[in-house]
Amino acid sequence: MELAVLNTAGKDTGKKVHLEDTYFGIEPNDHAIYLDVKQYLANKRQGTHKSKERGEVAKSTRKIKRQKGTGGARAGSLKSPVFRGGGRIFGPKPRDYSFKLNKKVKQLARKSALSYKAKELAIMVVEDFSFEAPKTKEFASVLNNLKISDKKSLMVLNEPNNNIYLSSRNLQGTKVVSVSELNTYDIMNCANLVFIESSLSELQKQD
């Protein structure tokens, strides 16, 4: 599959790039995508949720009422979960949600996501560019020229570029990452995947 290389004005430069079938033309594996996305979201969870059990609630331990003769169930403490303000039964505790996923499964998931975008014709290639200083207006102009300003987009750089990153940070629905940061979740979560020309060649060199 070949794509035309565009410039920041949205015009065809006359150059073309080839998308390797090993990255953009495989049969997508939905289960691998599911596992990779699940791990990505699980790793982002802080896991700091906590509720107090009956042994941690600050209440008096005085017996509430006499043991017998009231006609109701016996009760010995206001800390009991059956009373308002008492401890919680089997409440959440701090935990680590992260889990291991094999490297080859993650690679398959990313290639599957890229193949989906290629099938949807949702991939664009732009020649390398940079900004002299962070300018949100200039980055917004690039998106307008590429006609993707109204859609969720993901731009992939060859290496981290602080000026481009800072220029995009205030624009809703736009994310900028480097090739090393590219992940399955971000690929599936965008409507348009934009590669800088050098980032595409760098991606296709990876295992």
Kindly report the three-state secondary structure assignment for every residue of the chain: CEEEEECCCCCEEEEEEECCHHHHCCCCCHHHHHHHHHHHHHHHCCCCCCCCCCCCCCCCCCCCCCCCCCCCCCCCCCCCCCCCCCCCCCCCCCCCCCCCCCHHHHHHHHHHHHHHHHHCCCEEEECCCCCCCCCHHHHHHHHHHCCCCCCCEEEEECCCCHHHHHHHCCCCCEEEEEHHHCCHHHHHCCCEEEEEHHHHHHHCCCC
Q: Domain residue spans in the chain?
A: 2-46+99-203, 51-91
Domain 2-46+99-203 sits in CATH at: 3.40.1370.10
The pLDDT tens digits for 17-29 are 888 889 999 999 9
Average pLDDT of the chain, as a whole number: 91
- The answer, yes or no, to whether residue 48 has pLDDT greater than 80, is yes
Q: What pLDDT shows up at residue 207?
A: 60
Give pLDDT tens digits for 80-137.
Answer: 999 999 999 999 999 999 999 999 999 999 999 999 999 999 999 999 998 889 999 9
